[in-house]
Amino acid sequence: MPEPRTVATHCPYCALQCGTRLTRERAGVTVTPTDFPVNRGGLCQKGWTAASLLDTSDRLRHPMVRRDGKLVATDWDTALETVASGLQRLRTEHGADAVGVFGGGGLTNEKAYLLGKFARVALGTSQIDYNGRFCMSSAAAAGTAAFGLDRGLPFPVTDLGGANVVLLAGANPAETMPPLMQHFTRPDLIVIDPRRTATAERAALHLRPAPGTDLALALGLLHIAVVDGWADDDYIRHRTAGFDATWQRAMMWWPERVERVTGVPVTAQRAAVRMLARAERAYVLTGRGAEQHSKGTDTVAGFINLALALGRPGRDGSGYGCLTGQGNGQGGREHGQKADQLPGYRSITDESARDHVSEVWGVLPGTLPGPGRSAYELLDSLGTPDGPRALLVFGSNPAVSAPHAGHITARLSSLDLLVVADFVPSETARMADVVLPVTQWAEEDGTMTSLEGRVLRRRRLQDPPGHARSDLEVLHGLARRLGEPGHRYPTAPREVFDELRRASAGGKADYSGISYERLDTGAALHWPCPAAGPGGDEHPGTPRLFLDGFAHQDGKARFAEVDYRDPAEDVCAEFPLRATTGRVLAQYQSGAQTRRVHDLNAAAWEVFVEIHPDTAERAGLAEGELAVVTSQRGSTVARVRLAETMRTDTVFLPFHFPGDGRANLLTNPELDPRSRMPEFKVAAVRIAPHAPR
Ligand code: SF4
């Protein structure tokens, strides 16, 4: 029996990264919340039950290889040799890009960093991207264009509590990150969401645009702000550029036209602008509902335009931010597991960035591959003549979470070699040729970066069960078998973090002044945090960005010239409804983790389709029956849940469930031209009873 022990760490799930204390006693591990600023002693149901993840009954304990069609337990040497020899053969026969790597937004900073280095140096492949592409990439693209720098919230979460008004566009924190709601007790909320969500229930004003029309609404709100005289002309003149071109578009979006396209009444549009404009302190926040569209970047830009016109970003107590979703969705996009980026949030096509990172990695600059395919394009290319023939998956479950999931499952099946590193047998792991059992949150040290850009320590409470190993050890073992020097792939998280600091130095996301030692003293360090601060002292980190100017060279924010376009796929006689997807309180992402926690699964155990009673009646459906929801790409079987609050033209499905309950069997992989975000949030569907009554 291991010794009792307590560590301070953070929840394994979402980007709020609530502070927790883990205590191991004879009876098992317990989780208690700490008074960390974002959660202030609160946790959601997922956080409270997180210890159950540690001893889930089907926890992966041994490496496995597929023999005669079945996964069988083996030892690490055999598993790693099988992977390395398979990769080597494919690289020799087809070139370095025959191997792809798919990472995850839940990996620690250390894992994300080493995975990017492993892909580009040990494998020499350009084919690496991660599931965060499906999460925050539109907000990142729009934020970078507007402000010169993307950090989910460019201010601490606690600043939100001082606001008078907060506009939430496509975000439902009452279900996705409930402890955040305690920061919204003072502000009046304006919620933009087609559904009457738990967050919308608490709003002073709820606007319900048809799915896929948020950009028209954002343009219309900007129109009203300008025409009704709410715009901050002085701020626009001195702190921004590009307003005139933006206005040329927005002037065409008068309120009545916006009402026709979105369904949001003119009175509600005017009320929203009035509330935002009159507030002394106000924030505009976006979530996946606004971002997961083939025009997601433009939609976020539309809301940033509104915030800029009202003079909010870069002011103390006001601003724009994105509520990043995955646990390390922020850090995951900064350290090089994204197809187009190197550590420090640098562009992979920037020659000086390539020189700097090459030097830290000890390789010649010319040997680093260029940008690869984005997440969906990478998955879509698997097993094709031009695409990878092997894929290494770390911390992701694309068989459930990718759009057009039936097609992606077929592509995964077509590979010569699928390798999955995970701690549970996810749906993707069950398809693999080799499964590598790895550590999870309470079994490892490392760092995570929360939605407010604060770097946090994840601390190890106990050893992993069986033969599970850290992902860092897996990468080290594979790299050595591929002929790389072992010292290039350290296995100690602190050592990897120290190298990450050097690689990030001088980049946008500069971590060089952050160390385990400083974090362990409880220092609140938000990046950028260069090695030296003013006067040569330790840098205090940067909790609030843009107060003295935006990150563009002239210090000005940029308005974006955006215009509305319809969803990539519109309703028609065959598919007359719009399906949208999202989360429920008790589940997280693909559900690979939370479906294994008894209390969470008891609260939400199957996929449902939320539908207005009139729409259901027309389709011959009643509460509790099974329905088949069908799009051009596939069908999902879901339990009917009637909701008077639904729009009659829309149905909603949560995306956490496997098999023929996968909501992503329906979703449209049409991509945003800039962020490469798929159109998760709107697909044309029809609905019918599952079996004749
Ligand atoms: Fe964990 Fe997020 Fe819930 Fe906090 S809000 S307890 S970080 S899942």
What's the gap in Å between 190 CA and the centre of ligand 1?
Answer: 23
How high is the pLDDT of residue 590?
Answer: 92
Tell me, using a 6 A CB cutoff, whether residue 43 lines ligand 1. Answer: yes
Q: Which domains does the chain have, with CATH numbers?
A: 5-55 (2.20.25.90), 64-134+328-434+456-489 (3.40.50.740), 137-325 (3.40.228.10), 577-689 (2.40.40.20)
pLDDT in tens, 558-601: 999 999 999 999 899 999 999 999 999 999 999 999 999 999 99
pTM recorded for the entire structure: 0.96
Tell me, using a 6 A CB cutoff, whether residue 177 lines ligand 1. Answer: yes
Q: What is the DSSP string of 365-421?
A: GGGS------HHHHHHHTTSTTS-SEEEEES--HHHHSSSHHHHHHHHHT-SEEEEE
How high is the pLDDT of residue 693?
Answer: 46
User: Is it the case that residue 501 has pLDDT exceeding 50?
Assistant: yes
How high is the pLDDT of residue 3?
Answer: 73
Give the Cα separation of 344 and 350 in Å (integer).
12
CA angle 648/652/653 to nearest 5° reads: 155
Q: How many CA atoms lie within 13 A of 50 on its CB side?
A: 26
pLDDT band at 378 (very low <50, low <70, confident <90, very high): very high
How high is the pLDDT of residue 442?
Answer: 96
Give the tokens for residue 154.
Answer: 């460019």
How high is the pLDDT of residue 494?
Answer: 98
How high is the pLDDT of residue 691?
Answer: 79
How high is the pLDDT of residue 692?
Answer: 53
pLDDT band at 2 (very low <50, low <70, confident <90, very high): low
pLDDT in tens, 323-346: 998 889 898 889 999 999 999 999
Q: Which of 537, 81, 660, 564 is nearest to 295 (CA)?
A: 564
| Residue having the nearest C-alpha atom to atom 2 of ligand 1 | 14
Q: Does residue 343 have a cis bond before it (omega within 30 degrees)?
A: no
Q: What ipTM goes with this model?
A: 0.99
Instruction: Tell me which of 10, 14, 587 to substitute to probe ligand 1's pocket, judged by most ligand atoms within 8 Å of the beta carbon.
Output: 14
What's the gap in Å between 450 CA and the centre of ligand 1?
Answer: 11
How high is the pLDDT of residue 621?
Answer: 98
Tell me, using a 6 A CB cutoff, whether residue 325 lines ligand 1. Answer: no
Exposed, middle or buried: residue 67 (CB in 10 Å: 0-12, 13-18, 19+)?
exposed
How high is the pLDDT of residue 451?
Answer: 96
pLDDT in tens, 150-192: 999 999 999 999 999 999 999 999 999 999 999 999 999 999 9
How high is the pLDDT of residue 620?
Answer: 97
How high is the pLDDT of residue 305?
Answer: 98
